[in-house]
Amino acid sequence: MEPKIRFSIASVLLLLSISVVAFGQGGSVVRQVIAPTVAQNGTGQPASYALIRVCTSTATGTPCSPLVTNVYADQALTSPLPAAFAADVNGNYNFFAPTDEYLIQESNATGAGYSFVYSYLTFLNGTGTVSSVNLALPASVFLVTGGPVTSTGTLTGAFIAQSANTVFGNCTGSSAVPNFCSLVAGQIPSTLNASTINGLAVAGNETVSGTLGVTGVATLSSNAIVGGTLGVTGAATLSSTLGVTGNTTVGGYLTVAGYATVTGLLSANGGMAITGNVTSGGNISNPTGYINSGGYQLGSSYGTAGDCLQSVGYGTIFSPTCSNGSTPTVAAGTGAGTSPTVTLVTGSTDRSGAVQAITGTTPAATATVFTLTFSASSPFATYAFCTISPITYPAATLSGAASVILNQTVSDFLVISNSTPLTGALNYSWSYTCGGH
């Protein structure tokens, strides 16, 4: 047997016998393994079925280790090969691998009669197929600069100028690609700080911590709670209550289905229709309309002591020509029960006040609850028109006496309970407001 001679060629790139072809996915190695020469006890011929190992660039040892895991038979890098494989009968082999540096080790096939080891480093550099890169963004929103990039460069996208008072969003009311558009009512949140809106329609509650200004018509199907000023140039319609910390100014007609509480000025040029009571910390002003409400409470007024609100045919003013009269008297009836306590609330006058009744035992089912007699200085010389309503719980429903027209010759009016008797030993209260002449 011929002696075996071992050759080791490390870190050598054999440019004459290796071809590196670049592809978009990586590079390939194509090579033929030649056995040692006859003088070196080899054959000098192609090394049939030579053993090939593909290791990392920092691998050591013979055989080298560690092997790589990304060797492929195709350019697309989809058909894996083992990192240790055999050349063909003519010593030829090839493989593909991603861009990187590798240590390739070649040795004789088992039983070849001689030994050799060739080791060399090679760098596989893939070549991409892209020659130009650009950036496409919606032209209605962005301006793109720096493109196309053919080697190195920076692509930049910047917002373009938009029309004044537009926002970026979906203003269509249905699913759509967002764009710059004018703000619509559906995009307004339920809680605002300070806003001026050209027309306002809100299906739910509207709570504003600052000022709410509406240049058109305001329609709210529920409560309106404003922390500052409510200013509406058109009409205002609220299906529930109105609560404003500051002033309320309405250019048109103000309609409130519930009560209205305003700490400042309450003004509606077109008039007001308010189902509940009106409470204002300032003045109530409606120079061209009228006020229709269950009652008024003013925190301040321009009237002087002794003046009262009086209709003059085109509005309501404070006038010294009307009087509240003096204090009437009240007496219990059988509808209040046996031994009741029936009194006038302090400050009650012939024109307005309240009656409080602590019922006794066994109140009559349908009878006079109390009799109120005007004073000798009553402002009603001919007749009085009075409105009676319960003001505290438990409320007693009145029968036929919610509005009573009184002939002054009788000089009193009666309040009648309903067919269900009042409950004994409970506190009932009724308010009354009277007008007339």
The per-residue pLDDT for range 284-333, each reduced to its tens digit, is: 766 555 566 556 665 555 566 656 666 655 556 666 656 778 898 888 88
Query: Are residues 314 and 337 both part of a single domain?
Result: no
**Of 266, 269, 270, residue with least CA distance to 282:** 266
Q: How many CB atoms lie within 10 A of CB 60?
A: 10
| pLDDT in the model for residue 66 | 95
Query: Does residue 310 form part of some domain?
Result: yes
Report phi then psi at 291, rounded to 5. Answer: -115, 125
66 Cβ contact list (under 8 Å, min separation 6):
55, 56, 59
Cα–Cα distance for residue pair 407/284, rounded to 1 Å: 32
Query: Are residues 214 and 265 both part of a single domain?
Result: yes
CA 325 from centroid of its chain's CA atoms: 56
| pLDDT over 50 (residue 14) | no
Tell me the sheet residues that pair with 157: 144
Number of domains in the chain: 3
| pLDDT in the model for residue 50 | 94
Q: How confident is the model at residue 197 (pLDDT cuts 50, 70, 90)?
A: confident
| pLDDT over 60 (residue 9) | no
Show the domain range for 211: 191-319
The residue from 72, 100, 124 where one domain ends is 124
| pLDDT in the model for residue 298 | 59
Query: Are residues 200 and 292 both part of a single domain?
Result: yes
Cα–Cα distance for residue pair 135/203, rounded to 1 Å: 44
The residue from 70, 89, 124 where one domain ends is 124
How does pLDDT run across 23-67, given as a tens digit for each residue? Answer: 346 688 999 999 887 766 677 889 999 999 999 999 999 999 999
26: left (phi over 0), alpha (psi -120 to 50) or beta: left
How does pLDDT run across 243-278, given as a tens digit for each residue? Answer: 888 888 887 888 887 778 887 788 887 678 787 777
| pLDDT in the model for residue 153 | 84
| pLDDT in the model for residue 35 | 86
171-175, 180-184, 344-348, 410-414 — most confident range? 344-348
pTM for the model stands at 0.35
Choice among 174-183, 215-224, 304-313 with the minimum mean pLDDT: 304-313
**Of 285, 296, 295, residue with least CA distance to 254:** 285
Query: Are residues 211 and 281 both part of a single domain?
Result: yes
| pLDDT in the model for residue 297 | 62
Query: Are residues 388 and 409 both part of a single domain?
Result: yes
How does pLDDT run across 81-130, given as a tens digit for each residue? Answer: 998 999 999 999 999 998 889 999 999 988 887 888 989 999 887 655 56
Query: What's the mean pLDDT in 141-151?
Result: 87
Greater confidence (414 vs 20) lies with 414
Residue whose entry in the numeric block shows the structure tokens 């890169």: 133
Query: Are residues 218 and 270 both part of a single domain?
Result: yes
Cα–Cα distance for residue pair 303/317, rounded to 1 Å: 9
| pLDDT in the model for residue 312 | 56
| pLDDT over 90 (residue 179) | no
In angstroms, the Cα distances linking 310 to 124, 291, 316, 383, 435 are 103, 12, 5, 16, 9
| pLDDT over 50 (residue 10) | no
Q: How confident is the model at residue 370 (pLDDT cuts 50, 70, 90)?
A: confident
Q: How many CB atoms lie within 10 A of CB 210?
A: 15
Pairing between β-strand 80-81 and β-strand 71-72 as defined by DSSP bridges = antiparallel
| pLDDT over 70 (residue 425) | yes
Query: Does residue 185 form part of some domain?
Result: no
| pLDDT in the model for residue 16 | 28
Output the domain CATH number for residue 42: 2.60.40
Query: Does residue 164 form part of some domain?
Result: no
| pLDDT in the model for residue 401 | 44
| pLDDT in the model for residue 275 | 73
Query: Are residues 15 and 112 both part of a single domain?
Result: yes
The residue from 280, 301, 319 where one domain ends is 319
